[in-house]
Structure 1
Amino acid sequence: MKKSIVLKCVFILILYHIVEEVNTLNLFGLDTLTIDLPQGTVRGSFDLFRTQRMFLGIPYATVTERFQVAGSPPTWNGTFTANQGNVMCNQYFSTLRQPIGQEDCLVLNIYTPPSRTNELYPVIVFIHGGGFYFGSNSKLIYNPQFLVRENVIVVTINYRLGAFGFLCLGIREAPGNVGLKDQLAALRWIQNNIAYFGGDPNSVTVFGESAGAVSINYFLLTNSTEGLFHRAIMDSGSVLMPQDFKYNPIESASTVATRLGYNTLDPNELLQIFRNSTASDIVEASYADQTNDAFSLYYFTPCVETAVANESESLITEEPTLIIKKPGLNVSVIIGFNDREGIYWAQHYNYQTVEQVRANFGSLIPNYLQFESDVNRTTFIDGAINIYFSNRTVIDGLIEYFSDSLVFYPSTVASESLTINSSRSLYNFYFDYDSFRNLNKFLTRLRFTPGACHADELFYLFQPAVYAALPATPNDAAIIATMTALWTSFAKTGIPSTSTTTWTPSNQQLEFLEIGNEIQMIPLPNQQRMEFWRETYEKYGRK
């Protein structure tokens, strides 16, 4: 039975590849697939049903040296066949238990409506999540056909991950955050080149999920990104996400170096270790078992840059708790999250009792908290245990705790900061729709747990290959239609709306568009729990 299913899948993939090859042919006499860029000529293809043009795997920058800012994009003679939609940066593929990807991975995929018009299309640039250690812009996951049919151009980008993008040693040879600067290089490339594809460089919306949303939050809080985008969408992430910032990056690098056979905290020695190790060895050393530890893979994430060759290259110069108070760019923003984000992290724990949770609670405390005494620490733990584990199963308590501490509260703080420091509109959403399309949840061991897991909303905006042959249910189709209309109307006008949905912007009191079986405006969800985090942060937050 399994062999039959595998053979059918292989046949479908081969047929799909053949059809895509045919779709590169100019069958109608008008060649809209060949584009002349300053780098050289590129040739794209149509998708299976000719509903979008695709230009896949176009290099936007070149990795010339590990841990350094990327160089200029390459040039070429002849025609670059833009059909490689699944290029990946170095990372660990846990399913196969082996490293995958390549170092020279800075490419982007461009998807446009099938025909050119006299007017330029608005542009959505998607920045993938993955904790800054895994993920890609792969067409197999992020096929934006639902969005493109609303007459926008979608660009999905790669950026360096793990040590390759975020080794932060406090020296000029490894200042940190080059993965974020890859993203900025992609945005500059888009400004210079998207018009060749029919896109409007003056109407660019950045859209990120998880680590992608964290990245965008940083970009919103620095004036050095002004002019690179004009609207922003942040799904399930802000600069306060505790797993996505390193306060002690040299210690993290030293931990990985130990697995490579070295024991040092010296930045220059660490630099040589990481320079001289193979990419595969670095990736394997950065991967760890996650039993009862959802955060062991976050060794290399954004950091404060303390040494750069040129001060203008600095992106993060202060800790997130300080950065988030800055005014930043004055652009309209969407910020939202899913009702049970914590499923993604809770799956890694097998605690059976509250006593086990209490005994190990130290590893669950977010790094935006800092306790001056053991008494304060114990007071926080007692409060959290009481709120999250008194009337729930252990696994449900973990789900709600991670939802709040990792996503809800950080996103709420980011939202409130924007309402204070920006005169532009802020729109909040709360996604609680549950169906078979909640792909990220179905990839966890908690797949039958009710609710929407971290990243589940993406699969109502993108069409993963696993769903390509499955017709959407009427309810799923309605959610897809609503979300794509809202996201693309925001990209076009800065106001997310449809003929049947009114999305009220937030002010000092946050209001959320609930996206689920009901589409309606609601107040801030879980207000009592959010008040717990607000009071905790006021007492124990990093200053």
Structure 2
Amino acid sequence: MRLLLLVLLGLGLNPASAAKLGVVQTEGGLVEGRSFSTGLFSSVEVFKGVPFADVPGKWEKPKPHPGWSGILKATKYRDRCLQVTLLQTKTRGSEDCLYLNIFVPHELSVSTSLPVMVYLFGGAFLLGASNDLAILGDSLYDGKEMADRGGVIVVTVNYRVGTLGFLSTGDSRLPGNYGLWDQHAAISWVRRNIRGFGGNPDNLTIFGQSAGAASVSFQMLSPYSKGLFRRAITQGGVALSPWALQKNPMALTKKIARKVGCWRTDEDEMLTCLKMSDPVGLTMAGKIDILLILGKGVVMDMLELSPVVDGDFLPDEPSNLFHNAAQFDYLAGTNSMDGHIFAGVDVPSINSKKANTTAEQVKGLLTGLTKEKGDAAVPSAFSVYSVHWGLAPDPAIVKKTVADIETDFLFLVPTQIALQLHANNSSGAGTYSYLFNMKTRIPGFPRWVEAEHAEDLQYLFGKPFSTPLVYFPRHRDLSRYMIAYWTNFAKTGDPNRGGSRVPVPWPVFTKTHQPYLIINDEMSKSSVSYDLRAYYVRYWTETYSHLPPA
């Protein structure tokens, strides 16, 4: 024991200085981060605010950064991209926002050739940042725990959102997808530069949640991604989600032009005016008018600014582009109540202790969701979702049905279709499906509410370890499981193999065999199930999709 102490003292073991990259050469210049001790022999070196592109021109693709002289002290997060605040009352952020953050784990020696995981944040393509706040502690997307526990480099990136990221005329004048081009520029920068940070540029995984998950899906489908990364994970969103693609971009551009005083009958004059308009005013013009929507339609209709089929980054409808994703290993799933938060806006009674939810309200919701098919869809969808109610349905069952409808329509069914298309097109790449159903930690919701939209992220990013006082041991178990599956997958393409122990083997999803893993804190052999919500998936993909348009 004494000898061990002498050895440790002889090593001068300050863990923060035990292994450290120090100054790293990138294509733009030298950067230096900060080291954080994570244990006796381990640390994570963090580089915040590293530029991956120049300040972007308005509605232009990102351009290479001109570089800098001296050593860039990469110790502070940079501004998020210009966007509306959560309450939509003002803007925050900057046009100078194309930066990323890198989390590198070390043990006794400096890391080399580690797998790399690049995270794309969610926020309806309208808001969000690579360092979005957690309620307590570090940024929600702080990568230290995941990097340290999973033995991977985690990178979080900014991209343009809202009007400046996704306004489009649907043609070459204002093609749109600027936020997707930013993501592509960030992933390309990582591939070119990550070796200097101890990463393996040939083992990149991109992952994201909500609009970030849809973004990952778009990156997989774009011909520009060939050979750029190896694997992809989507959590609660895919390119096929009904909110992920603008169908009529010119109408929205005209609406925004009206709001900023640029309405002209001549479209080219209107666009010239828009290009000269104040970025803050343009950003505010893209906000969601929540008061106009309450009780009059569905939340989905508010999510207007999103990617478009531009004939370039996305040359065709997403469902026709899965041949481009054939080489990527793919892991995808949803939370069991991804749609609950949206359902609570569309049908507020579902979260009320006093009010019941009526069959008419359920039909009203279906009318709003299925308007592209007209009135014909409502009776058929209603009969599918009310079949298990019985003659005198329990009010809680009716309320949960509303959440299930929105979860299926907005998240779960599109994800199941994406998994199927990936498996059908795959050339040797693996496909994996999951359902995350841990009970919600959000107080005040009814007892039947399980995993809310985005509730998976706290576990994936290790919050039960970094802020232990607000979690129980079961939450740490779940966090350990998720980090193990996700980082194993990043290392090998197989969530079961990669050095981290997992509680249950996760079977592969194929053309003919559709297992999925149920992820929560009580995982056992019975956590593997088959044909996720097949009755409802079949309704939306076969019966509903074959109804004639309105």
How high is the TM-score relative to the length of structure 2? 0.83
- Please say if residues 259 and 285 of structure 1, whose CA atoms lie closer than 8 Å, have aligned partners that are also in contact: yes
1:35 CA displacement = 1.3
- Please say if residues 160 and 179 of structure 1, whose CA atoms lie closer than 8 Å, have aligned partners that are also in contact: yes
Residue identity over aligned pairs, in percent, reads 27
**Distance in 2 of aligned mates of 1:27 and 1:228:** 33
Taking structure 1 as reference, are residues 493 and 380 closer, same or farther at Cα in structure 2, changes over 3 Å only?
A: same
1:333 is paired with a residue whose SS is strand
Q: 1:344 aligns with which of 341, 346, 351?
A: 341
Partner of 2:30: 41
- Please say if residues 131 and 298 of structure 1, whose CA atoms lie closer than 8 Å, have aligned partners that are also in contact: yes
Q: 1:120 aligns with which of 113, 119, 134?
A: 113
- Please say if residues 387 and 529 of structure 1, whose CA atoms lie closer than 8 Å, have aligned partners that are also in contact: no
Report the number of matched residues.
Answer: 499
1:483 CA displacement = 0.9
1:201 is paired with a residue whose SS is strand
**Distance in 2 of aligned mates of 1:81 and 1:491:** 29
Q: Is 1:514 matched with 2:518?
A: yes
Partner AA of 1:32 in structure 2: L
Q: Deviations over 1:159-217 (max 9, x none)?
A: 11011111111343421111111111011101110011111101111111122221222
- Please say if residues 141 and 465 of structure 1, whose CA atoms lie closer than 8 Å, have aligned partners that are also in contact: no
Partner AA of 1:502 in structure 2: P
Q: Is 1:434 matched with 2:439?
A: yes
1:234 is paired with a residue whose SS is strand
Partner of 2:360: 355
**Distance in 2 of aligned mates of 1:240 and 1:156:** 24
Between stretches 424-433 and 459-468, larger displacement belongs to 459-468
Partner of 2:405: 401
- Please say if residues 343 and 446 of structure 1, whose CA atoms lie closer than 8 Å, have aligned partners that are also in contact: no
**Distance in 2 of aligned mates of 1:467 and 1:264:** 54
Q: Structure 1 unaligned runs (5+)?
A: 1-24, 307-313
Q: Deviations over 1:494-541 (max 9, x none)?
A: 111135421110112311011122342111232222222122344138
Partner AA of 2:481 in structure 1: T
Partner of 1:503: 506
**Distance in 2 of aligned mates of 1:410 and 1:27:** 45
Q: How does 1:280-295 map to 2 (within 5 A)?
A: 280-287=280-287, 288-289=289-290, 290-292=293-295, 293-295=298-300
- Please say if residues 239 and 320 of structure 1, whose CA atoms lie closer than 8 Å, have aligned partners that are also in contact: yes
- Please say if residues 464 and 471 of structure 2, whose CA atoms lie closer than 8 Å, have aligned partners that are also in contact: no
Partner AA of 2:513 in structure 1: Q
- Please say if residues 141 and 463 of structure 1, whose CA atoms lie closer than 8 Å, have aligned partners that are also in contact: no
Q: Structure 2 unaligned runs (5+)?
A: 1-13, 132-137, 350-356
Taking structure 1 as reference, are residues 258 and 425 closer, same or farther at Cα in structure 2, changes over 3 Å only?
A: same
Q: 1:91 aligns with which of 70, 83, 93?
A: 83
Over the aligned positions, Cα root-mean-square deviation in angstroms equals: 2.8
Q: Is 1:330 matched with 2:323?
A: no
1:242 is paired with a residue whose SS is coil
1:279 CA displacement = 2.3
Q: Deviations over 1:443-486 (max 9, x none)?
A: xx748652001111111111459963626311111111111111
1:33 CA displacement = 2.8
- Please say if residues 147 and 153 of structure 2, whose CA atoms lie closer than 8 Å, have aligned partners that are also in contact: yes
- Please say if residues 363 and 378 of structure 2, whose CA atoms lie closer than 8 Å, have aligned partners that are also in contact: no
Q: Deviations over 1:382-416 (max 9, x none)?
A: 44664598845554232111100011110000011
**Distance in 2 of aligned mates of 1:425 and 1:27:** 38
**Distance in 1 of aligned mates of 2:82 and 2:387:** 40
Q: 2:72 aligns with which of 80, 91, 96?
A: 80
Q: How does 1:352-501 map to 2 (within 5 A)?
A: 352-359=357-364, 361-365=366-370, 370-371=372-373, 374=374, 376-380=376-380, 382-383=382-383, 386=386, 391=393, 393=396, 395-423=399-427, 424-434=429-439, 436=441, 441=442, 446=445, 450-463=449-462, 468=467, 470=469, 472-497=471-496, 498=501, 500-501=503-504
**Distance in 2 of aligned mates of 1:59 and 1:388:** 54
1:303 CA displacement = 0.6
2:331 is paired with a residue whose SS is strand
1:37 CA displacement = 1.8
Taking structure 1 as reference, are residues 77 and 297 closer, same or farther at Cα in structure 2, changes over 3 Å only?
A: farther
Partner of 1:147: 146
Taking structure 1 as reference, are residues 126 and 27 closer, same or farther at Cα in structure 2, changes over 3 Å only?
A: closer
Q: Is 1:51 matched with 2:54?
A: no
Taking structure 1 as reference, are residues 261 and 532 closer, same or farther at Cα in structure 2, changes over 3 Å only?
A: same
Q: How does 1:250-269 map to 2 (within 5 A)?
A: 250-264=250-264, 267-269=267-269
**Distance in 2 of aligned mates of 1:252 and 1:398:** 29
**Distance in 1 of aligned mates of 2:363 and 2:15:** 65
Partner of 1:225: 225
**Distance in 2 of aligned mates of 1:110 and 1:215:** 20
Partner AA of 1:40 in structure 2: G
Taking structure 1 as reference, are residues 385 and 477 closer, same or farther at Cα in structure 2, changes over 3 Å only?
A: closer
Between stretches 384-393 and 478-487, larger displacement belongs to 384-393
- Please say if residues 43 and 105 of structure 2, whose CA atoms lie closer than 8 Å, have aligned partners that are also in contact: yes
1:158 CA displacement = 0.8
**Distance in 2 of aligned mates of 1:119 and 1:335:** 28
Partner AA of 2:70 in structure 1: G
How high is the TM-score relative to the length of structure 1? 0.84
Partner of 2:539: 532
2:123 is paired with a residue whose SS is coil
Partner of 1:183: 183
Between stretches 518-527 and 185-194, larger displacement belongs to 518-527
- Please say if residues 169 and 267 of structure 1, whose CA atoms lie closer than 8 Å, have aligned partners that are also in contact: no
Taking structure 1 as reference, are residues 270 and 104 closer, same or farther at Cα in structure 2, changes over 3 Å only?
A: farther
Partner of 1:133: 126
1:71 CA displacement = 0.6
Taking structure 1 as reference, are residues 385 and 261 closer, same or farther at Cα in structure 2, changes over 3 Å only?
A: farther
1:267 CA displacement = 4.2
Partner of 1:318: 316
**Distance in 2 of aligned mates of 1:483 and 1:52:** 20
